[in-house]
Amino acid sequence: MTTSREQSAAGHADLDEFVEVGAAEDFADGQMAGYEIGGERVLLARVDGRFYAIGGVCTHERANLDEGALCDNVVYCPLHYSAFDVRSGEVLGPPADRAAPTYAVRVEDGKVLVAVAPGGAPPGATESTQPEAGEGVREEALERALPWHARISAELDRMDWLRESADRMIAGLVPVRRRLVRTGLLDLLHGRWFGHALHPALSDLPIGLWISSLLLYLIGQPQPAAILGVAGVAAALATALTGVADWTVAEGHERRAGLMHGLLMTAALLVEAASSATYYFAGARTVAVVLSAVGLAVTVGAAFLGGHLVFGHGTMVNHTAWPPGPAQWFPTALETELDGAPGRTLAVPAGEKTVLLHRNRDGRISAIHNACSHAGAPLSLGQVCDGVVSCPWHESKFRLSDGGVVRGPAFSPQPVFEVRVRAGRIEVRSRE
C-alpha cells in the first residue's frame, strides 16, 4: 500500500546532525513522506519495517518523489515515472540517470531521526540504533493474534534451512531455465498454450486418483486400488514438472512455501508408490491401506500450501484479471512525449491503472496494461525491442501492438486499451 504525506521537520533540529521527523509507530510499512531537512527535500520511506531516506526530488526534472508512488522498495516519480530504489537511491528506471543521495536514518526511543546532510548511510543500509521498547513483545502478541494458517506461513519464513535450500536450488535451476527458455517447453509447462497455469489444473489428477485408490482399498477392491495408486504416481510426476517450472520464477515467501509444498508432494508420491508396491509385490493389503492413507494425508498438507500460494499470494494467477481501467476516455500524455527514439514507451496513469503507451512502426499508438500479467511487474522498466516489451522481473515478453504473450512465464495477454488523440493529447479507455 502506498500513502504519501508531507511534513516539515524544520525547527526540530535538536540533535547535532539529525532531525526528528516523527514517531516510528505512525509510519506504516509501505508508507513514504517528504520533509524539508537542512534546506533540502528528503524522502523517508518504510520498507519491510526498516526506514530509508533519499533525496526527495527526482534527479530528472525536480518533481517531488513523495507525490509519486511507492511499490515495495521502488519509488516512481509522479512526472515521468523514473524509478529509484529507496534503499540505495539507485536509478532503476529512466528517464532519470543520476542516483538520488542517501541520508542516514536512526530510530531512537521510538522517534525517527534523519541526517541533515546526505551521504551518511552506506547504500542500502538503514540503521535502527535502538529497538523500540517492547517491540519484541508487541510482535509476539501480534503473531499470537494471527489465525493458524497465517502462523504456519510466518513459521515457513523463519526456517533458515528452507530459505537457504530454496535459494541454492533456484541458483542451480536458473541456468537450466535459460537453456530451455527458447525451446517452448517452459511455455508449455507454465500453461501459455492453454491460457492459464497448468500446474493447479493438473494437481487435481493425483489427488483424485489417490482418494479413489484409498476408497477402493477400503471397500475391498485392492487390485484396482493399487492400479489407481500407480496412476496417481504417474500423474504426480507430470504435475511436478509443471510445478518446478513455475517455481523457478518464484521469489521470497512464494519460493520458500513452494519448496515446502514440493517436498511434501515428493514425500506423498514416495509413500503412495510404496503403498502400491507393497500390495503388488508382497500382497500386504493392510500395510498398503495404511500407506495409502498416510500418503493422502501428506497430500492434503501439500495441497493446503498450494492453495495458500495461489489464493493467498496470487502465484501464477493473471494479475490483470480485474477491471483494467477507465470506461470513459481518459486524458494521458501529450502525443509529442512519444517522439524520439524508436521503442520509446511511456507509463501513464489512467484512472486507477497505469497504461504503457507505445508508437508502433506504422505510427499507430498502442496502449497496454503496464502491470505484467504474470506477477505485476511494471513493464515500463523493461526493455523494448522490435515492438516487444520484456518484463523486468522474469522476462515474459509481450507484443506492444496487441498485448499478446510472446514468451512466458506469463500465460495471459496484457489487456489492450483503445487509443485516440484529441488536441495533441493521447486518450485511452478500456476495451469492452
Write out the residues near ligand FES by the rule CB under 6 A.
Answer: 249, 372, 374-375, 377, 391, 393-394, 396, 409-410
Q: Which of 48, 255, 11, 397 is nearest to 21 (CA)?
A: 11
The whole-angstrom separation of Cα 416 and Cα 429 is: 9
Cβ 250 to ligand FES shortest distance, Å? 10
Cβ 375 to ligand FES shortest distance, Å? 4
The whole-angstrom separation of Cα 417 and Cα 415 is: 7
Secondary structure of 114-136 as H, E, C letters: EECCCCCCCCCCCCCCCCCCCHH
- Cβ nearer to ligand FES, comparing 291 with 391: 391
- Cβ nearer to ligand FES, comparing 204 with 251: 251
Strand 83-85 to 102-103 pairing: unpaired
| CA pseudo-torsion sign 314, 138, 44, 100 | negative
- Cβ nearer to ligand FES, comparing 103 with 393: 393
The whole-angstrom separation of Cα 253 and Cα 251 is: 6
Question: Is residue 419 within 8 Å of 400, Cβ to Cβ?
Answer: no
- Cβ nearer to ligand FES, comparing 59 with 412: 412
- Cβ nearer to ligand FES, comparing 62 with 178: 178
Cβ 310 to ligand FES shortest distance, Å? 15
Cβ 353 to ligand FES shortest distance, Å? 16
The whole-angstrom separation of Cα 352 and Cα 374 is: 19
Grid cell, residue 61, equals 526534472
Strand 3-6 to 31-37 pairing: parallel
Cβ 356 to ligand FES shortest distance, Å? 13
- Cα Rg, the chain, nearest whole Å: 26
Burial class (CB in 10 A: 0-12, 13-18, 19+), 343: middle
Cβ 377 to ligand FES shortest distance, Å? 4
The whole-angstrom separation of Cα 229 and Cα 219 is: 15
Grid cell, residue 73, equals 522498495
The whole-angstrom separation of Cα 237 and Cα 25 is: 49
The whole-angstrom separation of Cα 300 and Cα 208 is: 11
Distance from chain centroid for Cα 285? 47
3-state secondary structure of 43: strand
Question: Is residue 213 within 8 Å of 293, Cβ to Cβ?
Answer: no
- Cβ nearer to ligand FES, comparing 207 with 379: 379
- Cβ nearer to ligand FES, comparing 55 with 258: 258
- Cβ nearer to ligand FES, comparing 34 with 382: 382
Cβ 88 to ligand FES shortest distance, Å? 22
Cβ 385 to ligand FES shortest distance, Å? 16
Grid cell, residue 6, equals 508531507
The whole-angstrom separation of Cα 100 and Cα 53 is: 10
- Cβ nearer to ligand FES, comparing 208 with 376: 376
Element (H, E) at 291: helix 285-307
- Cβ nearer to ligand FES, comparing 387 with 409: 409
Cβ 372 to ligand FES shortest distance, Å? 3
Cβ 12 to ligand FES shortest distance, Å? 41
Torsion of CA 101, 107, 113, 116, to 10 degrees: -40
